[in-house]
Amino acid sequence: MKRLFFAALALALSGPIAAQSGEGDPEHGREIAYTCFGCHGVPFQQNAYPTYPVPKIGGQTYGYLVSALKAYRSGERKHATMQAQASTLSDQDIRDIAAYFVSLDDGGES
């Protein structure tokens, strides 16, 4: 009985996550994410000041990408380039870009 309860609970909790990841259109995301590859698509790319690696975004989780882009757009996360990029994105654009990058395995084209 406990197994059935936990299985039902897991299924119930995974539903919103699965539905959320389906909100974005990866094809549209691919069309509008071309500027992302200017930094994120270059192997071993570094920011100049301060120097730190540009993270890969292919294969990241949907929720993380949506949250990060919204935080850059609102100014909650600070990075001049990312804030400028995100400031032009609608909520749907953010979901579409996230859906596209979730479909990539390691940051490269799929």
Average pLDDT (10-18) is 44
Other Cβ atoms closer than 10 A to 38: 12
C-alpha torsion sign, points 25, 32, 90, 110: positive
CATH of the domain at 94: 1.10.760.10
Give residue 98's domain range. 24-102
The verdict on residue 110 lying in a domain is: no
The predicted-structure confidence for 31-81, as pLDDT tens digits, reads as follows 999 999 888 876 666 555 556 678 878 778 999 999 999 999 999 999 999
Structural domain tally of the chain? 1
Which residue carries 């032009």 as its tokens?
88
